[in-house]
Amino acid sequence: DAKTTQPTSMDCAEGRAANLPCNHSTISGNEYVYWYRQIHSQGPQYIIHGLKNNETNEMASLIITEDRKSSTLILPHATLRDTAVYYCIFRNSGNTPLVFGKGTRLSVIA
Amino acid sequence: GAGVSQTPSNKVTEKGKYVELRCDPISGHTALYWYRQSLGQGPEFLIYFQGTGAADDSGLPNDRFFAVRPEGSVSTLKIQRTERGDSAVYLCASSPTGPNQPQHFGDGTRLSIL
């Protein structure tokens, strides 16, 4: 069973920042937070991951709380192509399989 | 560069038939994963290969499901005596060896059992 909690759905206006929350209160000290997204009819796409420091790449920023029990994925300027299901997952540093929940369905609206 | 390739993209077959689904991972990726995704759900893990060997097959639902990766590259997922409940999107992912390596997914094979 998935161990993260995410809202079922969210809307965001095009051009605005999309902030997607995730609770992972049972995360262990050696487990990383990963974010993936899945656009309709495609496979999941890796976005970003982190352990305890905030991370940023060309796609998004990841903010992890100090107690590591929750995190927020930020898409700074959402576009219509960002409409997708976003999954928050935590796993250890090995090559363990991913455990997906139902994710958050983000709809970017023009 | 080339991503994970899965063939066929769609497969329709009758109940009771045998099917094979193929996955070509990203070149050089030693870890390969199979997942299954039903409508409205997140992907569910089936089996994971490290090189040629299955490191974890705990997600395979029953003995009708089997997967191989004989040369440590291409993998084939095999389903015998298919049932209507096997209908789903079958996803393959690969990653390099090493800590904190993200998995990269193909677009899946949509399997429909009539």
Backbone angles phi, psi at B81, to 5 degrees: 45, 60
Residue A110 has what pLDDT? 94
Dump pLDDT digits (tens) for A71-106: 999 999 999 999 999 999 988 878 889 999 999 999
> Is A102 an 8 Å CB contact of chain B?
yes
Percent of chain B with pLDDT over 70: 99
Sorting pLDDT into bands at 50, 70 and 90, what band is B49? very high
Residue A7, token pair as written in the block: 């809202």
Dump pLDDT digits (tens) for B58-100: 999 999 999 999 999 999 999 999 999 999 999 999 999 888 8
Spatial separation of the C-alpha atoms in residues A17 and A23, rounded to whole Å: 20
**Bridge partner list, B91:** B35
The SS3 of residue B78 is strand
Q: What is the DSSP string of A49-62?
A: EESSS-EE-SS-EE
Q: How far is A77 from chain B (nearest CA, A)?
A: 24
Sorting pLDDT into bands at 50, 70 and 90, what band is B1? low
Spatial separation of the C-alpha atoms in residues A13 and A92, rounded to whole Å: 35
Q: How far is A101 from chain B (nearest CA, A)?
A: 6
CB contact under 8 A, B106 and A34: no
Chain B residues 21-40 with CB within 8 Å of chain A: 31, 33, 35, 40
